[in-house]
């Protein structure tokens, strides 16, 4: 029943929102309907659970609305329950997803609200995944609901905003007992089933190809393993094959976007049997395409790495000169290029400097080891 409820709740919530319920009131009504389901279904299960939940949740919402005299205007608008019809067969989860990514919300609030309303995660699970107290996360979600209710449903987030939020969720990775990367893939699959935009497929392919390498990304003792040193026998070949198929279908539509470019780069890494066999010339070409689309300093930094692999470390250092000094991991890339060029003293100093600026313990430890390796070979 848990799996069924998790699948149906976003759809039922979306129906209530489409009918005019504000986010918080709709969620309260759905929760009351679920309580009713737990009480009734074991003895009298419905033939079709979704219409049952919609009917009960909508009645709960109407009852709550009628009981509040301060909402008489809304009561007049929603007094009569719409007759069931073909429209109820649609999946309103997509509407809900776009609403959770409303442009009035910060990225953090959009992520939390998406995981709560569309992902079906509990507030406690979301709080644990983000390493904050449950009460703090509950307040964040409540504020997000109020913001969306105040802004109205007429201006939901655009597709680009939704894709950004999903990718941010994916990059949260695995924390506590919640696998946010897997949850992001699930939500992106759902979005792709309702959209023929190639960038949706591009993002799904990118997630699948990155997720395929997950088992090799960390050593048994928890140390970060760079891509070049990963045991590629641990990569998930089924996910790689699926990611490549999804990417090829997207590229065939000839409407290139940044997620498709990133997925193409990931596919080239996954295609190589070893780091030495990576087709860096093609990787560099895709970075050129990506840089033309985004003009991002982070992309320029990654392109400098590709230049260093394809054309040598000195060319990579020249490419690095165009990257602003404050870009994260720039110093680490500079260290790697100097090491490749044989400037070991400079490389060791840059590794140590990069370690001091690292944003995670795993990254700091890895860079510290690189500096020590060069100073004490």
pLDDT of amino acid 19? 82
Backbone angles phi, psi at 273, to 5 degrees: -75, -20
pLDDT of amino acid 81? 47
Domain boundaries of the chain, sorted by first residue: 2-78, 93-183, 279-377
Flag whether the pTM goes above 0.85. no
pLDDT of amino acid 97? 86
CA atoms within 13 A on the CB side of 100: 31
Concatenate the DSSP letters of all residues of 226-278 into one string: -GGGS-GGGS-HHHHHHHHHHHHHHHTT----HHHHHHHHHHHHHH-SSGGG-
Contact 57, 12 (CB under 8 A): yes
Concatenate the DSSP letters of all residues of 40-95 into one string: HTTTS--SSHHHHHHHHHHHHHHHHHHT-GGGHHHHHHH-SPPPP-GGGGS-THHH
Beta strands in the chain (DSSP E): 174-175, 178-179
Query: In whole angstroms, what is the distance from residue 290 CA to residue 302 CA?
Result: 11
pLDDT of amino acid 157? 57
Query: In whole angstroms, what is the distance from residue 181 CA to residue 253 CA?
Result: 27
Query: In whole angstroms, what is the distance from residue 31 CA to residue 27 CA?
Result: 6
Nearest 5°: the CA angle 203, 205, 206 is: 65
In the beta sheet, which residues pair with residue 175?
Answer: 178
pLDDT of amino acid 175? 54
pLDDT of amino acid 74? 45
| Averages of pLDDT over each 10 residues, the chain, 377 residues | 72 83 82 84 82 88 72 49 43 79 88 87 85 90 85 64 92 71 91 92 97 93 91 96 97 96 98 94 97 95 97 97 93 97 96 93 93 91
312-321 CB contacts, 8 Å cutoff, 24+ apart: 312/340, 313/337, 313/338, 313/340, 313/341, 314/341, 316/340, 317/341
Return the CATH architecture of domain 279-377. Alpha Horseshoe (1.25)
**176: helix, strand or coil:** coil
pLDDT of amino acid 88? 44
């Amino acid at each position: 029943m848990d799996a069924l409820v998790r699948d149906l709740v976003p759809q039922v919530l979306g129906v209530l929102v489409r009918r005019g319920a504000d986010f918080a009131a709709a969620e309260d009504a759905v929760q009351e309907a679920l309580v009713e389901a737990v009480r009734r279904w074991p003895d009298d299960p419905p033939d079709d659970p979704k219409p049952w939940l919609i009917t009960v949740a909508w009645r709960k919402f109407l009852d709550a609305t009628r009981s509040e005299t301060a909402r008489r205007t809304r009561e007049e608008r929603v007094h009569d329950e719409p007759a069931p019809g073909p429209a109820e067969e649609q999946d309103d989860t997509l509407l809900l997803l776009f609403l959770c990514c409303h442009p009035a919300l910060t990225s953090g609030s959009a992520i939390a609200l998406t995981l709560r309303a569309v992902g079906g995660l509990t507030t406690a699970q979301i709080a644990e995944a983000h390493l904050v107290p449950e009460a703090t996360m509950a307040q964040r979600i409540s504020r997000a609901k109020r913001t969306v209710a105040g802004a109205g449903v007429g201006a939901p987030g655009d597709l680009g905003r939704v894709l950004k939020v999903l990718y941010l969720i994916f990059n949260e990775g695995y924390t506590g007992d919640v696998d946010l990367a897997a949850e992001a893939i699930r939500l992106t699959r759902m979005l792709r089933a309702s959209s023929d935009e190639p960038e949706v497929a591009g993002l799904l392919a990118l997630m699948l190809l990155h997720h395929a390498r997950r088992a090799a990304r960390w050593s048994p003792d928890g140390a970060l393993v760079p891509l070049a040193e990963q045991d590629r026998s641990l990569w998930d070949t089924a996910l790689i094959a699926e990611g490549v198929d999804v990417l090829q279908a997207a590229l065939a539509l000839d409407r290139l976007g940044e997620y498709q470019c990133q997925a193409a780069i990931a596919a080239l890494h996954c295609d190589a049997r070893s780091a030495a066999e990576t087709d860096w010339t093609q990787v560099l070409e895709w970075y050129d395409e990506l840089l033309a689309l985004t003009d991002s300093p982070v992309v320029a930094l990654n392109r400098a790495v590709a230049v260093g692999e394809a054309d040598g470390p000195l060319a990579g250092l020249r490419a690095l000169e165009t990257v602003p000094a404050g870009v994260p991991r720039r110093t680490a890339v500079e260290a790697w290029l100097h090491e490749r060029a044989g400037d070991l003293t400079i490389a060791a100093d840059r590794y140590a400097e990069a370690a001091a600026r690292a944003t995670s313990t795993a990254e700091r430890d890895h860079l510290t080891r690189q500096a020590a390796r060069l100073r004490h070979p």
